[in-house]
Amino acid sequence: MFADIDFDHSEVVEEMKKWGVWVAQELGLNGFRLDAIKHINDQFIESFLYGVRQVLGKEFYSVGEYWKKDLSSLESYLANVKYETDLFDVPLHYNMYQASQSDRKYDMRNLFTDALISHHPDLAVTFVDNHDSQRGSSLESQVKDWFKPLAYGLILLTQKGYPCIFYGDYYGVGGKESPHRLTLEILLDARQKYAFGNQVNYFNHPNTIGFVWQGDEFHPDSGVALLISNGEDGDKIMNVGTAHAGEVWHEITGNRPEEVTIDAEGNGKFLVHGGKLAVWVKKI
């Protein structure tokens, strides 16, 4: 720890590549998480990952933690390393943090604004919180508990990005059980079973936004509608496709007790309580 390594030295670079291959093979890894890469020579990261993949295959994965909240810094870094690694979507994290701090004053239509997921979705690893954002950290920016289910609904059910769940939000921190685990399990199950087909966004209200997956023929009973609200109780007419006409949908997180019948055009009037998320699927 705290030892400087000269990544401009060719022998050091070659030795690090050998080490990367060795540790991946020894531990059976299929990817790396690269920590604090803004403090490491950009050219080394590019060369290191290229060299490792020359041996382990081009599918060997990499995600880097480049902790900058502005999109331009992340885009510059990606260009510098020739897009050899994905990055954690720190700007999106800060959008969600700000939304959790601002309650209904935050315009929910801006949640994905200037986030990596909106500009480079194939390179964005989305997350709500991590170990660095916790209270007492130098990077403290912990998303408030009331907003976490909404935030996880967004990243786990949207089509873009590669969502990542924080250990503490699933297993708990400091010996305390997480209050979010059940919701996370519901969302993970919904992603696996229902999130197929075409996604249509409804980011058209400052306090109530949502999207639908319309499902496809290859996954029976697929299709899901998500609504989140940071204000009052809300509703939104969203189209899940004519293939669902006549179906009855219900909400699976316990947020709403009602049922919604899809009309002949594929529309349903979906509901959400204020400050909550609602996840609607076909009732079987």
Active site residues: 35, 65
**Number of Cβ within a 10 Å radius of residue 108:** 22
Quickly list DSSP for 144-186.
PTTTHHHHHHHHHHSSSSEEE--HHHHH-STTPPPTTHHHHHH
CA–CA separation, 22 and 58 (whole Å): 16
Among 252, 263, 258, 264, which Cα is nearest to 235's? 258
Distance of alpha carbon 223 from alpha carbon 213, whole angstroms: 5
Element (H, E) at 229: strand 224-229
